[in-house]
Amino acid sequence: MEWKAEFSVGNDGLDDDHKIIIDLISRFDYAYSVEVEGELIANVLDQLIAYTKFHFQREEEYMHRIAYPFRALKDHEARHQALEEQLDELYEAFHGGKTEIAADISEFLGTWLRGHILETDMKYKAHADKKSAPPT
């Protein structure tokens, strides 16, 4: 997966977060291509999950600052929470010895991120564009 201009949410900080997550997904793919199990995959997976959770917090704080509508904000937060729970389950499965799920993790994350940015995040972008939002 590569960064594309269409992924931009119009906020440099959040765009940078998305670029880092895309890079971590690419690093995860590389790690999986050179080893099916082991420390490299585990380390990248740990970084990916931690950074994704950090990003969600920043994104939610940003949505509060731009006065994103309450229901839309709660829906977005619920989507983040659901992904965090899925990531925690995948983490436990991988670290519990189910290393064969690495390919599934990679496909899941790429598909989820692309869909989340292009569908869900673009909604707060449209709102921020109307409000001339402050930088992150």
Per-residue model confidence as pLDDT tens digits over 4-16:
999 999 999 999 9
Q: pTM of the full predicted structure? A: 0.87
Question: Using one digit for the tens of pLDDT, what is the confidence trace for 29-47?
Answer: 888 888 766 788 889 989 9
Question: Using one digit for the tens of pLDDT, what is the confidence trace for 53-78?
Answer: 999 999 999 999 999 999 999 999 99
Going from the C-alpha of 29 to that of each of 92, 106, 130, 133, the distances in angstroms are 19, 6, 38, 35
Across 3-23, b (16+ Cβ under 10 Å) vs e yields: beeebbbebeebbebbebbbe
> For 132, phi and psi rounded to 5 degrees?
55, 65
Question: Using one digit for the tens of pLDDT, what is the confidence trace for 80-134?
Answer: 999 999 989 988 988 888 877 888 888 888 888 888 888 999 999 999 888 765 5
How many residues are there in the chain?
Answer: 136
Q: Which DSSP letter does residue 38 get?
A: S
Q: What is the mean pLDDT of residues 11-27?
A: 95
Cβ neighbourhood burial of 115 (10 Å; 0-12, 13-18, 19+): exposed
**What pLDDT does 131 receive?**
74
**What pLDDT does 100 receive?**
79
Is the alpha carbon torsion for 62, 68, 71, 76 positive or negative?
negative
| H or E element in which residue 29 lies | helix 12-34
Which listed CATH number (1.20.120.50, 3.10.20.30, 3.30.460.20, 3.30.70.330) goes with 5-131?
1.20.120.50
For the chain, the structural domain boundaries read 5-131
- In whole angstroms, what is the distance from residue 96 CA to residue 112 CA? 23
**What pLDDT does 36 receive?**
61
